[in-house]
Structure 1
Amino acid sequence: MRNISTDKESGLKHVKTAAIAKLAVLTCFSSVLLLTTRCASIQAPTGGPKDSIAPTIVLESPVNLSRNFKANKIVITLDEFIKLNNQAKEISITPEMDRAPIFKVKKKNLEITLPDSLAENTTYSINFGKGLVDYNESNPILNYSYVFATGDKIDSLSISGNVKSALKNEIEKEAKVLLIPIAQDSIFGKKKANIFTLTDTAGNFKLNNLREGSYRIYALKEKNNDRIYNGTDEEIAFIKDSINLKADVSGINLQLFKGVPTRFRTIDRTLEKDGHILLTFNRRIEDPKIKVLQPSNFATNNRIIYSANQDSAHIFIPKITTDSLKFEVSEGLNILDTVLIKASNTDKLERFIKPLTSIKSSKVDKIKHITLTALTPIESIDKGKIKIFEDSISRTNFQLQIDSLDKNKYHIRYNWKDLKAYELVLEEGAIKGYFGEINKEDKSKFTLDKTNNYGDIYLTFAGIDSTQNYVVELIDEKKERVFNTQVLPKDGKISYLKYPGGKYSIRVIFDENNNGRWDTGDVYKKIQPEKIWYLDRVFTIRANWEQQETITLSN
């Protein structure tokens, strides 16, 4: 006979055990869930692509472009958390208010509390530039403006155009375009302009909600982001005449340039390892003259080499025995600067000449042969200490010729042969400097470059103005390297002979002052940079080819 009470106790124990187990599972699951939830609430997501999308406006209250505006607070709602970036420099209000409004960010909302002293019948524009950004990645809403009018009319005129670099004719994105009323033009270079916008990726701009009046327009590419032109370290553009705005204006072309500094400065002075002095200036010196004031016995015993742009000078002097040097820098008869250089540890200076040759990639050009030069002024070269070996056999029947234009350059010519191994040896003392410096032994191994990769091209320019002076420059397709510069003859014909095969292009400088080079502008004197015209294509010089091209120049 079954014991019913025992069965009941056993059943109860089983149910109780199952319940306890189930409760334990639920408790564990709840703990894990709670822990996961807590972790998720504080841990930022990781991985994935970086957000590059600017936030979007979803609501403006009152609505943008409101008339008869009476509110004292503006609320702008976006689709994600936001913040203000560089508020003092990026955000502008035009016209200025008697008291500045208060900007406050609350998660996805921007609240702007306005003063109670707004002028009647006035259009106000709050321009955010790049100042309104998302919270995490700081992606800006470019050129967002909130506009309202206290009267029944909103200013609706606009000015649009394009900004490019004057020198390279390339579009300039995110350049600031400043508009200053004529009555306030004296603030240029002193105070920040309130009316501004940024160019887009195509270099285009548009200034909206403008009132009738006369304005001056500028473009600025600046370093410190204060909407003030701070001098020639920054790029500026302008149009010479003011804009009398009565209707929408379009097609404004602004050319950015760096001006010539009004104050001359020696920006760097260096005692080089080989004992010569390098002076670097903040602008070109038209008629440079440098006088050694100290030591006085160096006044006539020196050699000076100016850079091609005449904005730096290499000064070569005898061995330094004093602890300081003093130089006077002049432009013609006008003394520009006095430069003092401390000359300590002069015993460590290595006064020798380092030869420079045209041997590239262990190859020698059979047309141009070998050029030999040095940064240091060369007094003489001893041909007897120059050795040429052809398959290890010494050859003495080479020519050594000084360049007809550059007295610091020599040419070594020889009947180079294919399939021969060559070595050029410059023995110690082969080159002698102006102050007795000599070279250390120098060896170069090479073979003949047999590619014969040279061609001739003859250019004829059409559409030229006989009263205009032009300078033609042969450049690479990236506009970064200039291979040749020459004045365009009146017959409009230029030839490039024995040029390496490859892709080239042309730019033409409208040389207004006939000095043979491009000149930048001056915003204060209202002088524009000289115009540069670029060929809108590249052409190819083909090896062993002689070709002709006609280029039509548009004025």
Structure 2
Amino acid sequence: MLGYGCASIQTPTGGPKDSIPPKVLKETPANFTTNFKSKEINIQLDEYFKISNEAKEFSVSPATDKNPYFKIKKKFLNIKFQDTLAANTTYTINFGRGLVDYNEGNILKNYMYVLSTGNKIDSLTISGTVLNTLTKKPVLDATVFIIPISQDTIFGKRRANIFTTTDSSGVFNLKYLRPDTYRVYALKEEGGDRIYNSTNEEIGFIKDSLVLTKNTTGIKLELFKEEAKIFRIMDRKIEKDGKILFLFNKQLSNPAVRIIQPKELDASKITEFSKTKDSLSMWTENMNFDSIQVAIINNGIPIDTSVIRKGKKDDYKRELKITDNIPNSRIKPGTDLILSFSAPIGTKIDPSKITLLQDSISVNGLRIFKDTTSNSRYIFKFPWKLEKKYILKLEEKAFTGLFGGENKPFDKAFTRDEEINYGNLALAVTVPDTATHYIVQLLNQNGELLRENPITKSTTINYITYAIGKYNFRIIYDTNKNNKWDTGDVYLKKSPENIWNAGIEITLRANWDLEEKLTIPPETGAITLVPAPAK
């Protein structure tokens, strides 16, 4: 039985906001008591507090058949054991993030009460860091937990009893442990139940079990998201303009779709899968159906079916919304203006309703091409000149959708950017092993991926006309040679493909041609666990 009670506390008003968590003033019996024989524990805090998520945050290790009963009495936490404790055993009561002050919710983080029914306290420790596997940056508030190997079947099913959370440097410390063989995991989750039960959560582990006979430090856990093992359609809907959208829980390698019902719509449908192949947009010749059933196919094999039903009051209106590739209104030198439409475009384009103004004067020479990679994207080519102001004007119905709908009036004002705002980089990359494949990724200073190049030998990669600013590089050791980064599998104890962040920052300056060298180090092996020095 779990429960707690508390007195009615009045909320004070005025003054600065309290940001200090509660403090423990006294523990009876004292923390780290040996030969423990009491049936209850009283812990005094320095302010009124409450219990948050007791079932998720509180744990007793080793577990008892019945959890202790926790009750608040003013500024005291009373703990009563409902089971007889085993002889000659160290018990740890971990409060996680479950003790918070009453008014502001400030957390008494990672507080533990330790006792032993024997004449000594187990004192072994495990420490290390938790990092993001892509960025190699420390992860705050990740849960690190260990499970005795004899109980590892609870992973993904029940919460582990021995856990802690990381600080802002990604550092963790698990204390007061007994000698045993453990599995070590790290988890960054959404639900807060400290159970790995979704591929949307990030997981990390060390491949081999840890035989704990002495204090161990230097454990590095890297968090990653697994690829979903079972394909599922996460969302499906018909948007107001008639586009049918499907979102998947994983990327597909060679996707396709077939309309099962109404079958007559299948031959004329238009489909576009996202670049990452984890979503689908589909348009049908008409909307004269009450429901539509489709089969999702990968590599020629149907993997799922789905039905979308129209609501009786749903009203769909074909229309063409327009977006462009120059949100800052400056077109990059040597590039074209691209307009993306919200639906596929047919052959009905009215050139008389398309005008290009240069310094407010209509000019000829604008060429329009359909993008061969998309049914809803068009390329506008023109010899854009410096110090000229351009306006592309589309009158209503300049473009007509393949299945109906027209654009509304659209104006886009822009100028051609100057070369002085861009630079070129020649990156000479040296590989350590020509038998290994690598992927060189270019990142901006916000860590966003801009470009990637698979390579198998030392080579020079040229980055032409990139905006001035700071850039970084990341290297993927492409072990299976499939030209992409592959994530791990916690159940198979398979780690993600290794990543090396170069740690150098390239600054492109105005109108510069920069030459840099990048030497990829050999791929590192397994993490070595380091026993802590004896005290």
The answer to whether the superposition gives a TM-score over 0.5 is yes
Summarize the Cα distance change of 1:404–1:136 in structure 2 as closer, same or farther, 3 Å threshold: closer
CA, structure 1 residues 59+343, in 2 after alignment: closer, same or farther (shift >3 Å)?
closer
CA contact (8 A) 1:158 1:209 kept: yes
Number of matched pairs: 514
Contact preservation (8 Å) 1:98, 1:117? no
> Is 2:280 the partner of 1:318?
no
Establish whether residue 426 from structure 1 lines up as the match of residue 394 from structure 2: yes
2:371/2:378 contact within 8 Å kept = yes
The secondary structure found in structure 1 opposite 2:129 is strand
Q: Check whether the contact 1:464–1:492 (CA below 8 A) recurs between aligned residues.
A: no
Q: Secondary structure at the match of 2:224?
A: strand
Q: Deviation at 1:426?
A: 3.0
Q: Deviations over 1:207-252 (max 9, x none)?
A: 1111111111111122332222122132221121111111111111
Q: For residues 155 and 102 of structure 1, what CA distance do their matches in structure 2 show? A: 24
* Distance verdict in 2 for CA 1:116–1:259, change over 3 Å: closer
Do structure 1's residue 251 and structure 2's residue 214 form an aligned pair?
no
Alignment match, 1:74? 41
Can you list the C-alpha shifts for 1:390-415, whole angstroms capped at 9, x where unaligned?
34433222344455766754433323
Q: 1:78-117: per-residue Cα shift (whole Å, max 9, x none)?
A: 2223333222221111112244323232223222223462
CA distance in 2, matches of 1:487, 1:135: 55
From 357, 360, 371, the counterpart of 1:389: 357
Residues 320, 43 of structure 1: CA spacing in aligned structure 2 closer, same or farther, 3 A cutoff? closer
Which moves more between the two structures, 294-303 or 335-344? 335-344
Q: Could you say which structure has the greater relative contact order, defined with CA pairs below 8 angstroms and 6 or more residues apart?
A: 2
The one-letter amino acid of 1:329's match is: I
Q: Separation in 2 of the partners of 1:436 and 1:61?
A: 77
Residues 1:395 and 1:383: Cα distance change in structure 2 (over 3 Å)? farther
Question: For 2:432, which of 438, 458, 464 is the aligned residue?
Answer: 464
> Secondary structure at the residue paired with 1:64?
coil
Mark the CA change 1:379 to 1:518 in structure 2 (over 3 Å): closer, same or farther.
farther
> Distance between the aligned counterparts of 1:536 and 1:553, measured in 2?
11
- C-alpha separation in 2, matches of 1:188 and 1:362: 52
1:398 to 353, 359, 366: 366
Deviations 1:401-460 (A, max 9, x none): 455766754433323334434322334554454446554443323333346411101112
Counterpart residue number, 2:94: 127
Quick check: 89-98 or 42-51, which moved more? 42-51
SS in structure 2 at match of 1:186: helix
Q: Which among 109, 127, 142 is matched to residue 142 of structure 1?
A: 109
Name the CA distance, whole Å, in 2 between partners of 1:137 and 1:352. 50
Q: What residue in structure 1 maps to residue 321 of structure 2?
A: 354
Q: Secondary structure at the match of 1:258?
A: coil
| Residues in 2 aligned to 1:210 and 1:290: alpha-carbon distance in whole angstroms | 54
Query: SS of 1:297's equivalent?
Result: helix
The equivalent position to 1:542 in structure 2, one of 495, 502, 509, is 509
Deviation digits for residues 475-525 of structure 1 (CA, Å, limit 9, x no counterpart): 12121x222122135124212101111122222222222222222222122
CA distance in 1, matches of 2:291, 2:460: 54
Letter paired with 1:468: T
**Which aligned pairs between 1:98-117 and structure 2 lie closer than 5 A?**
98-115=65-82, 117=84
User: Using the alignment, how far apart are the partners of 1:310 and 1:47 within structure 2?
Assistant: 54
> Which of 413, 416, 419 does residue 445 from structure 1 map onto?
413
SS at match of 1:262: coil
Conserved? CA contact 2:129–2:221, under 8 Å:
yes
Partner of 1:227: 194
Q: Percent identity?
A: 43
Query: Which structure is larger by alpha-carbon Rg, 1 or 2?
Result: 1
Rounded to whole Å, the distance in 1 between the matches of 2:438 and 2:459 is 10
Question: 1:311 and 1:484 mapped to 2: Cα distance?
Answer: 20
Moved more, 91-100 or 400-409: 400-409
Q: Measured at CA, do residues 47 and 422 of structure 1 come closer, stay the same or move farther in structure 2, by a change above 3 Å? A: same
Match of 1:510 among 477, 493, 498: 477
Aligned to 1:36: none
CA 1:308–1:188: 2 relative to 1, 3 Å? same
2:131 aligns to what SS in structure 1? strand
Q: What TM-score, normalized to structure 1?
A: 0.85
Q: Does the alignment pair 1:327 with 2:288?
A: no
Match of 1:552? 519
> What code does the residue aligned with 2:435 have?
T
Does 2:237 correspond to 1:270?
yes
Seen in structure 2, the aligned counterparts of structure 1 residues 304 and 255 have a Cα distance that, compared at 3 Å, is same
> Structure 1 residues 393 and 50 mapped into 2: Cα distance closer, same or farther (>3 Å)?
closer
2:468 counterpart (501, 504, 510): 501
TM-score by length of 2: 0.88
Distance 1:504 1:317, change over 3 A: same
Taking a change above 3 Å as real, the CA distance of residues 511 and 380 of structure 1, as seen in their structure-2 partners, is farther
The amino acid that maps onto 1:307 is S
Instruction: Could you tell me which runs of 5 or more consecutive residues in structure 2 were left unpaired when the two chains were aligned.
Output: 1-8, 524-535
Quote the Cα distance in structure 2 between the aligned partners of 1:331 and 1:66.
61
Query: Residue 241 of structure 1: which of 208, 212, 224 is its match?
Result: 208
Contact 1:72-1:116 within 8 A present in 2 as well: no
Q: Return the alpha-carbon distance in structure 2 between the equivalents of residues 347 and 247 of structure 1.
A: 67
Q: Does the aligned pair in 1 maintain the 2:430–2:458 contact within 8 Å?
A: no
Residues 3-40 of structure 1: per-residue CA shift (max 9 Å, x gap) = xxxxxxxxxxxxxxxxxxxxxxxxxxxxxxxxxxxxxx
Residues of 1 paired with 2:137 and 2:143: CA distance? 16
1:11-410 correspondence to structure 2 within 5 Å: 44-115=11-82, 117-344=84-311, 348-380=315-347, 382=349, 384-385=351-352, 386-401=354-369, 409-410=377-378
Amino acid at match of 2:238: L
Render the CA deviation track for 1:111-141: whole Å, top value 9, x for unaligned: 2223462211111111111122333323222
**Pair 1:411-2:379 in alignment:** yes
1:329 is displaced (CA, Å) by 0.9
Distance of 1:191 and 1:44 partners within structure 2: 37
| Deviation for aligned residue 1:46 | 2.2
The structure where helix makes up a greater share of residues is 1
Return the letter of the residue paired with 1:415: P
